[in-house]
Chains A and B, each alone.
Chain A
């Protein structure tokens, strides 16, 4: 019974990972892709690890899986934030149908916008 439950969690986790990857391929720009990969892959991997913790049926295995889950939960959004900020700073443009960008104008106002950005926009 516990095994069935554990395998169900692992399957659901893998499904979320697959959907995250589909989003990664289908979404139009870096920022939307980060959304898909961060959210789905985080939850998917956590569910997978919890399934492993249950299926292992031993305290040590569960402890390791839970420690990994906690670290993924903390580091994954931080990494996404760093990638998004780095992408913006190096001039990766938003999708052409994006409705609003409050970040660029504010950066330019503070003079923190790198000069490369304009040329990067021109070539695209």
Chain B
């Protein structure tokens, strides 16, 4: 199942990258090479797909994902203006530190998504995460070093969404 899913995924990417075929028709050579390459990749690397691969074919999760994309981009653009402001300001108003936050997410894919979301959003960068649900986050403007309050500032707004998508 994971192999099939991976095969389909890599084949779609292959087609997106090699399309258009010469003079607009389907080029059999490219398709065959793509299938072979995808099959090899699927056999070798299907392990990296998360164990909970069912999440890729669930419509409710897809719905929440589509809803999450604009929210994520909003925070990402805000994060960029924040960093640009701090980088260009003559006094450089930064107050950095590494804080610890707690998350209720359990699955690998959920934790990965949370860590990546934290890295791309205002003033925070995930440094490490432990097996029991703690993340160490580098924060460019530390507002609180308390675990609870830092969690409320950094992770709460994504955690809820990501639990809907990945858990």
Contacts and interface: CB of A to CB of B under 8 A. Distances in A.
Interface of A: 16, 19-20, 22-23, 26-29, 31-32, 34-36, 38-40, 42-43, 59-60, 63-64, 67, 73-74, 76-78, 80-81, 84-85, 88, 94-95, 97-104, 106
Interface in B76-104: 76-77, 79-80, 83-84, 86-88, 92, 94-100
Interface stretch (B26-34, B37-45, B119-127, B155-163): B119-127
| Chain A interface mostly | helix
Contacts of A28: 94
B87 A27 contact: yes
Contacts of B128: 85, 88, 103
A81 B98 CA distance: 13
A21 to B, nearest CB: 9
A82 to B, nearest CB: 10
Contacts of B16: 63-64, 67
B6 to A, nearest CB: 16
Contacts of B87: 19-20, 22-23, 26-27, 36
Given A60-B19, A103-B98, A23 B120 contact: no
B97 A99 contact: yes
A73 B94 CA distance: 25
Given A23-B84, A84-B125, A94-B98, A39 B79 contact: yes
Contacts of A103: 98, 100, 127-128, 136
Interface residues of B, number: 38
Interface of B: 13, 16-17, 19-20, 76-77, 79-80, 83-84, 86-88, 92, 94-100, 112, 115-116, 119-120, 123-128, 136, 138, 140, 142, 145
**A-B CB proximity, top 7 nearest:** A23-B87, A77-B119, A100-B97, A102-B100, A77-B116, A100-B145, A19-B84
Nearest to A110: B130
Contacts of B115: 77, 81
A32 B127 CA distance: 12
Contact of A16 (B17, B80, B140): B80
Nearest to B126: A81
A102 B146 CA distance: 10
Contact of A31 (B84, B99, B125): B125
B119 A40 contact: no
A102 B86 CA distance: 23
